Amino acid sequence: MSKRLISRLRLPFVVSATVCALGFSAATVSAQESVAQQPPTQRSSTPMYNPMPMPAANEVTDTLSEKDIPTGFGGFARDYLTTFNEGDHVVIDLISDEFDTIITLIAPDGSTLGENDDGPDGTTNSLLFARITRPGSYILRVRPYAGQGLGTFNLKVTRLRPVDE
């Protein structure tokens, strides 16, 4: 083929590729702009992550199911939001006859403050003691050991009272 013929074939290809790329960019930008330009009442106000508040009685009986939070390594988790004060000493008790439990206490900054798999009674239930050093909203995460198991559970938080000296 001659150089002239190759140049003629290349030009339509380059123009088509450029138009195609510009078309995709314009479509992407207009889609983002149309969502951003929607009135706030039309935008979704439901957050993707919304842990359930721990009841005022500090105890809940619930069910872990496949509709809960996927853990990313198999299994599911259910989160509860509770507030602790600086200096609180708490005991978190998680019991299930249907799965091997793990309780995780997550601090307001997202770090893991404590975790327990099996309590001292030799069962697969979980018992976690924690001393709170920063006030704020904490997450209590219920999940099964090794990502295996679903079913009912009982979660209880007890605030220990200081002993008078």
Show me where the domains of the chain are located: 1-45, 52-160
Find tokens 């990313």 and name the residue: 72
DSSP bridge pairs for 104? 115, 141
Q: Which H or E run contains 18?
A: helix 3-36
Q: In this model, does residue 8 exceed pLDDT 80? A: no
Identify the residue with better confidence: 42 or 47: 47
So what's the pLDDT on residue 46?
A: 57
- Closest CA relative to residue 65, chosen from 121, 6, 155, 144: 144
Given a contact cutoff of 8 angstroms between Cβ atoms, the answer to whether 70 and 76 are in contact is: yes
pTM of the model as a whole: 0.69
- Closest CA relative to residue 85, chosen from 154, 157, 163, 156: 157
The rounded distance, in Å, linking the Cα atoms of 94 and 146 is 16
Q: In this model, does residue 80 exceed pLDDT 60? A: yes
Given a contact cutoff of 8 angstroms between Cβ atoms, the answer to whether 120 and 127 are in contact is: yes
Indicate the CATH number for domain 52-160.
Answer: 2.60.120.380
The rounded distance, in Å, linking the Cα atoms of 61 and 138 is 19
Find tokens 């330009």 and name the residue: 37
pLDDT confidence bin for 96, thresholds 50/70/90: very high
Find tokens 């989160």 and name the residue: 79
- 2-28 mean pLDDT: 42
User: How far is Cα of residue 91 from the mean position of the Cα atoms in its chain?
Assistant: 23
pLDDT confidence bin for 4, thresholds 50/70/90: low
Q: In this model, does residue 27 exceed pLDDT 70? A: no
- Count of CB atoms situated within 10 Å of the CB of 70: 11
